[in-house]
Amino acid sequence: MTLGDILQPENIVPDLTAKDRWEAIDELINCLVSSGKIRPENRDAIAAVVRRRETSMSTGIGFGIGIPHASTDLIGDVSAAFGRSRKGLDFDALDNQPVTLVMLFLVPQGQFQKHLRTLADIAKLLHKREFRQALEEAPDAAAMWKIIRDNSALQ
């Protein structure tokens, strides 16, 4: 399963309005609710799980990348939303630099290997400078999704 498989065009936010990592996480969770990936009644519980994980250790991994993630029994399949912040967000990143690309993903509870594999695949892809640059320069969500899909297939 690649990033191109789990991410759908309707779950890409090319211009996050968030001012910090917490707002970005909420914005991406709302995107998953709007697209039907998360049931509205589970929104707050899922947000709490992601926040708890993020509070234990920031997922700002450097290079302008944030990968908030969590496992929950409130979803049936891996779900993801991707956002871009043109001005950058304070994510308490390892390199103390602002985060411009935020990849939120959720994995069903108990699927530890899938969780680790998904996280590793996303991190590997986002560590490619040319890939990040293409995403930062893409004009809209459709173009961003095409970049993600095309590059995921190469992994």
Within 8 A by CB and 6+ apart from 136, the residues are 64, 84, 100, 101
Q: Give the angle subtended at the CA of 9 by the CAs of 152 and 132, to the nearest 5°.
A: 45
Q: Give the angle subtended at the CA of 140 by the CAs of 135 and 143, to the nearest 5°.
A: 60
Give CA–CA dist 67/57, Å, rounded: 11
Question: Structure tokens of 34?
Answer: 């709007």
Asked about 69 being catalytic, the answer comes back as: yes
Catalytic residue among 69, 91, 144, 145: 69
* Residue 122 DSSP SS3: helix
First vs last C-alpha separation in the chain: 10
Is the CB of residue 66 less than 8 Å from the CB of residue 98? no
Catalytic machinery residues: 69
